[in-house]
Amino acid sequence: MKNVIMMAGLMLGTYGLMAQEKQEHKHDTSKAGADKKEVYQCPMKCEGNKTYAKKGKCPACTMEMKAVKKAA
């Protein structure tokens, strides 16, 4: 019985690590995005002051990101 519980824990831990790796995301650093005046940020600031070039959902809390003015 202990072996079954340990195996289940090991499998869940492995799955958690694999799921975490898939959540990586990249920012648009192209010059095409440089002339936009707005970037998007989570209203709860889950990731601090991290911003995104495209509108979408926050990867941390899944709230809809809001447009903010780009810093000069």
Per-residue pLDDT of the chain (72 residues; tens, 9 = 90+): 878 887 777 776 666 656 655 555 565 555 544 555 789 999 999 999 899 999 999 999 999 999 998 766
pLDDT at 37: 79
pLDDT of residue 27: 57
Q: What is the 3-state secondary structure (H, E, C) of 31-53?
A: HHHCCCCEEEECCCCCCCCCCEC
Per-residue pLDDT, 59: 92
What per-residue confidence (pLDDT) applies to 64?
A: 95
